[in-house]
Structure 1
Amino acid sequence: MTDLRHYDVIVSPVITEKSTMASEANQVVFNVARKATKPEIKAAIEALFSVKVTAVNTLVRKGKVKRFRGTIGQQSDVKKAVVTLADGQSIDVATGL
């Protein structure tokens, strides 16, 4: 039985050119909750995907100022986690949970 809090930690996978290149180095990129810590992220990934995590690196992308129909708006800050998996482990982000 997985803890329901794990679903609150992991928001979504990041599917970009850069994250696809990182997958060749056994890394997967996820958007995570802003208040999530590295141990929480590691526990959530290991519980939800049944894999062994060796490292978690995080970064916060600050929200950009954008214009929409002349009105200025602010995008939200996004926290990302680059999760390194043990050798032989993999996560297929295309299938989802």
Structure 2
Amino acid sequence: MKDPRDIIKRPIVTEKTTDMMAENKYAFYVDVRANKVEIKKAVEQIFDVKVANVNTLNVRKKPKRFGRHNGFTAAKKKAFITLTADSKPLEFFEGV
């Protein structure tokens, strides 16, 4: 099994995701090869909470230019986590 900290890359902290926190929903960038079951287990192990639902979204790479050089941004995967009603809020997001 993969290490849970290799699956969860970093949280997504925006105005929209901070509004979602009132509904016990959190957003993370995750490994592009991770599936919903692995993401659920990783969040439950790292934060010691119960996950009710996991929704994922693949973000495609986009073409970018830097001067005369052409390239692409990295492809990413977002995971939207819904906690159960009896779970406590994540300590990571306290004070945000």
Short-chain TM bin: 0.7 to 0.9
CA RMSD across the alignment: 1.7
Q: Residues 8-47 of structure 1: matches in 2 within 5 Å?
A: 8-47=6-45
AA aligned opposite 1:46: E
**Do 1:31 and 1:79's aligned partners in 2 also have CA atoms closer than 8 Å?**
yes
TM-score (structure 2 length as normaliser): 0.87
1:4-34: per-residue Cα shift (whole Å, max 9, x none)?
6111110111111121121121100000000
Q: Which runs of 5 or more structure 2 residues have no equivalent in the other structure?
A: none
Aligned to 1:93: 92
Worse-superposed segment, 78-87 or 14-23: 14-23
Q: Would you tell me which structure has more helix in proportion to its own residues? A: 2
Runs ≥4 in structure 1, deviation > 2 angstroms? 92-95
Worse-superposed segment, 40-49 or 12-21: 12-21
**Equivalent in 69, 74, 77 of residue 76 of structure 1:** 74
The alignment of Structure 1 onto Structure 2 pairs a total of residues equal to 93
1:51-73: per-residue Cα shift (whole Å, max 9, x none)?
11000000001111111123221
Distance 1:13 1:93 in 2: 9
